[in-house]
Amino acid sequence: MHLFPALEQRYSEEHQSAGEAQRLAQEIAFAPIVFQVSRLMLKYGILAQLSHAHHGLTRAQIAQAANISDYAAQVLLEASLSIGTVHTRDNRYFISKAGWFLLNDKMARVNLDFVQEICYQGMFDLDATLQSGKPEGLKVFGDWATI
């Protein structure tokens, strides 16, 4: 493989500490959950609510505004704390910088929608695709040879 010099430097050596590598391994393990929780935080408008609430919102306020149960709000908010898209203080929730970018960065939104609508379910069959050499995941869309 021929890479540009900057990429050659980046990909030819280990640049992470053991702790950073361990954290990345955990992020990879939980990536599908992170993706779906973050997508639902956008879908239900929770990140948008928080972006306009400079003094934060309580879980009850979030549940009511998003028209979801308290349980649903609790699950999404607790997961989002771990993900890093929200933070909390004095029983109120606030959007984080990462949450703000997820909400406002057009490329992030386009990529999130593309992965959800086109890639997510089909990727369950990646192993079969690699074994057969055919796009096995396309079956989620119908009986087509290509997308």
Which structure tokens are listed for 138?
């396309």
- pLDDT bracket for residue 117 (50, 70, 90): very high
**Contact in structure between 66 and 112 (CB atoms under 8 Å):** no
Tokens of 75: 């699950």
Mean pLDDT of 43-48: 98
**Single pTM value for the model:** 0.87
Chain segment 51-98, per-residue pLDDT in tens: 999 999 999 999 999 999 999 999 999 999 999 999 999 999 999 999
Sign of CA dihedral 109, 32, 18, 97: positive
